[in-house]
Amino acid sequence: MNILDQIVARKKEEVASAKAKTSLRELENKLGFNRETYSLKTFLTDHKKTGIIAEFKRKSPSKGIINDQVTVEEVTTGYAAAGASALSVLTDHDFFMGHDDDLIAARAVNKIPILRKDFMIDEYQIVEAKALGADIVLLIAACLTPQEILGFAKLAKSLGLSTLLEVHNREELDRSLNPYLDVVGVNNRNLKDFSVSIETSITLAEVIPSEFLKISESAISKPETIKLLKSVGFNGFLIGENFMRTANPGLAMADFVKAL
């Protein structure tokens, strides 16, 4: 089984036990559920911001432990101060050392959009994302059918959430687009074998329909790469490891932004 299949198999077990513990009705009564959300499109097109979606990521399947010595509050407020257009917070525990509480903590101290970075395989997780404080949900084409993407995106929009479709190749893009998606993200990392190439974004940029904003995800470590990606039409850039690898990720982002 490749890593993505392993993650999805584990996610199905997690969702089943979450449903047994907390009903959808109880989720909807949670404190974070009835609130205004921040729009990803609005923040990505605000030219006072950097276009960077900065990620809080302690560990990953491809790199192991990246940084488990910093708090989600200090890192995410540092990112916001450095001009992040949005934040990405991992809530997957078993593969990324993330937690739902990380998202709750990030929400409490930030006023910019937050992506629940997780593997959405059930409508329950979309409702849960809103209750935890997220503004954006990620729909990964590599692990969802077009019908699931459509259903999840419709539900997310009905809850006021922004929707980010993630693709890695032309086939995933062509079968997954629908009108309920706000932004298309091209993951430069192949989630099945961990190979990375910025060329993936460059090749797909011209075939993403113009009604969707575009973001490039993963393996971005140089300001020059952002300049190149902007020149081919990308509006946003998801960066995790490059900042998280340092002792002060917020400061690392501020230094990176000076060179843009």
* Smallest distance from ligand LARABZUK to CB 36, Å: 27
- Active site (catalytic) residues: 55, 57, 117, 166, 187, 217-218
* Smallest distance from ligand LARABZUK to CB 161, Å: 19
Of residues 127 and 239, the one with the C-beta less far from ligand LARABZUK: 239
Of residues 175 and 222, the one with the C-beta less far from ligand LARABZUK: 222
Of residues 100 and 217, the one with the C-beta less far from ligand LARABZUK: 217
* Smallest distance from ligand LARABZUK to CB 92, Å: 9
Residues that bind ligand LARABZUK (CB under 6 A): 3, 55, 57, 60-63, 187, 189, 191, 194, 217-220, 238-242
Of residues 27 and 82, the one with the C-beta less far from ligand LARABZUK: 82
* Smallest distance from ligand LARABZUK to CB 218, Å: 4
Q: What are phi and psi of 179, to 5 degrees?
A: -70, -10
Of residues 27 and 176, the one with the C-beta less far from ligand LARABZUK: 176
* Smallest distance from ligand LARABZUK to CB 252, Å: 12
Q: Residues near 226 by Cβ (< 8 Å), separated by ≥ 6?
A: 51, 52, 220, 237, 260
Burial of 216 (0-12, 13-18, 19+ CB in 10 A): buried
